[in-house]
């Protein structure tokens, strides 16, 4: 009797409330899925575009996943992870930013149903990790090696990337342009690395995207200083990039100088004149006849007086060169930036055949061509009829450049059009049957989740997604690895023959990044706000 009346303390204490943890997890998963659903419609060549209106009243039209998510104001922490996910795909591969988010959304959906079945998050996470490694192996086995000398393959993959963009009708022009631009900046000593900072994209309003072209030299969206009737065209130019100011010096601290009579004032003006003249004589002595002057914060880089003297000395002046452009400019001109007048020497100058101002649309640009010993850089002049098209053309061109960069660093091509995803789904499904217990069950679910890509492609193209995906599965089961959705014809064809190809790096990085992100979201069981 005494034993029965004793309270059962241990039982009551061991009960832990798991409801909250499940709520937090499902809230995180729902937030991630909501973000994925927002960009899902803009996947593929027939995807819709998004119009983004910012707080400042600026309007952006795009279907680049990274841009859409970047501009979204996301508050939920797990949804922010999806935004970061598309950013990391943008920096790793440059293309496939929508794909990676849609994939993560589909994986989150299956995780939700697995969690509802009572499987522990850690088990799901480990199974995801294994399937991710397996997927990369399967993709690598499917890939076709490509050589950089095979320009056609590179152009095909660049135009596949451009086909889903707003400017897709110009892909025949922009794809070869992107390929040539990247190939021209590859350093033979480091053939694996392409620095996209060596390709400068200059946007100029007016004309159409058809007028876009590469310039073998330098282009500035600026006009030459016309202040004192200086030259606007210079042949056999010796160019100096200077980082000092050609203007009378100021006191270092805020001081006022009191001038009591005119003789002193004349003396000050005379000194200023002599100071500027002295500088210009030193510049002229080296044979320099074109000056690129960096934008100055402290005081005016040039004054009316110095412009007048420079015009007299027949020196062409381009002022307000941005600070972050200096590195690109000096690399292209093969010269050194000069930080002080005392260091102004002839060997620091760059040489070009022609520097001239050209009228373009309603404005003017400055072109420097025929540069001697030009560095491995290239400039692309992008034109567009309005600002929205211009910005979108620049973003699309950047994606195409990134695709070519992927192929340079990892020289394998893979079919597009949902073919690799269905093949992965099929092989992972077969692999899941070999595994035991929960793991096999989880892998099977992930295999099904990968079908979201072909499903969405078909859905966005207005086809019947269920019929298309079923037929696609059937083709792959018969051993047609490269069968994919041909959106233009609305049926299943061999996608490699249709020239729809993408770099292997885009697919592998999309899958690894998406699984990493989902595993992270799964492992979170509480959100602690710190005040």
The per-residue pLDDT for range 357-404, each reduced to its tens digit, is 888 877 888 899 898 888 889 999 999 888 888 988 998 999 899 889
**Backbone torsions φ then ψ of 249, nearest 5 degrees:** -65, 155
Q: How far apart are CA 171 and CA 165, in angstroms?
A: 9
Instruction: Enumerate the CATH 3.50.7.10 domain ranges in the chain, comma separated.
Output: 217-373
Distance CA 39, CA 48 (A): 9
Residue-averaged pLDDT of the chain? 87
Statement: residue 104 has pLDDT above 90 = yes
pLDDT bracket for residue 426 (50, 70, 90): very high
Please, which pLDDT band fits residue 105 given cuts at 50, 70 and 90? very high
**DSSP per residue, 462-487:** TS-HHHHHHHHHHHHHTT-TTEEEET
The pLDDT score that the predictor gives to residue 135 is 92
What is the pLDDT at residue 12?
54
Residue-level pLDDT at 132? 92
Q: Which residues does the annotation mark as catalytic?
A: 64, 97-98, 399
Confidence (pLDDT) at 455:
92
Residue 228, Cα to own-chain centre: how many angstroms? 41
pLDDT tens figures, 47-57: 888 898 988 98
Mean pLDDT, rounded, for 455-475? 90
Is the distance from CB of 367 to CB of 215 less than 8 angstroms?
yes
Superfamily of domain 217-373: GroEL (3.50.7.10)
| Cβ atoms of 336 and 348 closer than 8 Å | yes
Domain with CATH 3.30.260.10 in the chain: 147-206+386-410
Identify the pLDDT of residue 528.
85
**Per-residue pLDDT reduced to its tens digit, 496-517:** 888 888 889 999 999 999 999 9
CATH 1.10.560.10 segments of the chain? 17-145+414-523
DSSP annotation string for 187-214: -TTSTT---GGGEEEEEEEBS-GGG-EE
In the chain, % of residues over pLDDT 90: 25
- The pLDDT value given to residue 221: 87
pLDDT, average across residues 202-225: 88
Please give the pLDDT value at position 15: 59
Average pLDDT over residues 483-507: 87
CATH number of 17-145+414-523: 1.10.560.10
pLDDT digits 0-9 by tens, 196-212: 888 999 998 888 889 89
**Cβ contact 233:292 at 8 Å:** no
Residue 448 makes CB contacts below 8 A (sequence gap 6+) with: 110, 425, 429
Q: Which residues pair with 290 in a beta bridge?
A: 239, 316
pLDDT tens per residue, range 50-87: 898 988 988 888 888 888 898 888 888 889 999 999 99
* Position 3 pLDDT exceeds 80: no
pLDDT at 381: 92
- Would you give the distance in Å from CA 505 to the centre of its chain? 15
Per-residue confidence (pLDDT) for residue 1, from 0 to 100: 53
Inter-CA distances, 510 with 103, 145, 195, 295, 311, Å: 8, 19, 21, 41, 56
Tokens 């943008």 sit on residue: 90
Q: Is the pLDDT of residue 10 over 70?
A: no
CB 63 within 8 A of CB 50: yes
Does pLDDT of 531 surpass 70? yes
pLDDT category of residue 187 using cuts at 50, 70 and 90: confident
Give the domain 147-206+386-410 fold: GROEL; domain 2 (3.30.260)
């Amino acid at each position: 009797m005494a034993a029965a009346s004793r309270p059962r303390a241990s039982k009551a204490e061991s009960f832990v409330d798991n409801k909250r943890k499940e709520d937090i997890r499902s809230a995180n998963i729902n937030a991630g899925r909501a973000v994925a659903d927002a960009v899902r419609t803009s996947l593929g060549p027939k995807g819709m575009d998004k119009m983004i209106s910012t707080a400042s009243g600026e309007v952006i039209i795009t279907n680049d996943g990274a841009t859409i998510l970047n501009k979204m104001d996301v508050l939920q922490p797990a949804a922010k992870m999806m935004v970061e996910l598309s950013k990391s795909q943008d920096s790793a591969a440059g293309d496939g930013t929508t794909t990676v988010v849609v994939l993560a959304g589909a994986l989150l959906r299956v995780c939700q149903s697995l969690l509802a079945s009572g499987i522990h998050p850690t088990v799901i996470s480990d199974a995801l990790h294994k399937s991710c490694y397996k997927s990369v192996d399967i993709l690598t086995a499917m890939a076709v090696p490509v050589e950089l000398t095979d320009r056609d393959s590179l152009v095909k993959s660049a135009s596949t990337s451009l086909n889903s963009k707003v400017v897709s009708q110009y892909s025949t022009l922009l794809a070869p342009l992107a390929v040539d631009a990247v190939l021209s900046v590859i350093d033979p000593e480091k053939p694996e690395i392409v620095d996209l900072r060596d390709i400068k994209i200059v946007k100029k309003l007016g004309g159409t995207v058809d007028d876009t072209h590469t310039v073998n030299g330098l282009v500035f969206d600026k006009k030459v200083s016309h202040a004192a009737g200086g030259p606007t065209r210079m042949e056999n130019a010796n160019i100096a990039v200077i980082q000092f100011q050609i203007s009378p010096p100021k006191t270092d601290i805020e001081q006022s100088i009191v001038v009591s009579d005119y003789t002193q004032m004349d003396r000050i003006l005379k000194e200023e004149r002599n100071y500027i003249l002295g500088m210009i004589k030193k510049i002229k002595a080296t044979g320099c006849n074109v000056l690129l002057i960096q934008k100055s914060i402290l005081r005016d880089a040039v004054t009316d007086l110095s412009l007048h003297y420079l015009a007299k000395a027949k020196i062409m002046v381009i002022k307000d060169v941005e600070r972050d452009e200096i590195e690109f400019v000096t690399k292209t001109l093969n010269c050194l930036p000069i930080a002080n007048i005392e260091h102004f020497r002839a060997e620091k100058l760059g040489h070009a055949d022609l520097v001239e101002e050209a009228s373009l649309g309603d404005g003017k640009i400055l072109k420097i061509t025929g540069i001697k010993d030009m560095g491995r850089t290239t400039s692309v002049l992008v034109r567009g009829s309005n600002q929205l098209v211009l910005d979108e053309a620049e973003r699309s061109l950047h994606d195409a450049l990134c695709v070519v960069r992927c192929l340079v660093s990892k020289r394998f091509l893979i079919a597009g059009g949902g073919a690799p995803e269905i093949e992965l789904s099929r092989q992972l499904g077969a692999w899941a049957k070999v595994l035991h217990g929960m793991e096999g069950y989880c892998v099977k679910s992930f295999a099904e989740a990968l079908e979201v890509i072909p499903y969405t492609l078909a859905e966005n193209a207005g086809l019947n997604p269920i019929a298309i995906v079923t037929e696609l599965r059937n083709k792959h089961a018969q051993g047609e690895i490269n069968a994919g959705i041909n959106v233009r014809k609305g049926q299943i064809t061999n996608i490699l023959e249709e020239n729809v190809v993408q770099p292997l790096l885009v697919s592998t990085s999309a899958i690894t990044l998406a699984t990493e992100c989902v595993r992270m979201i799964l492992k979170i069981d509480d959100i602690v706000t710190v005040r």
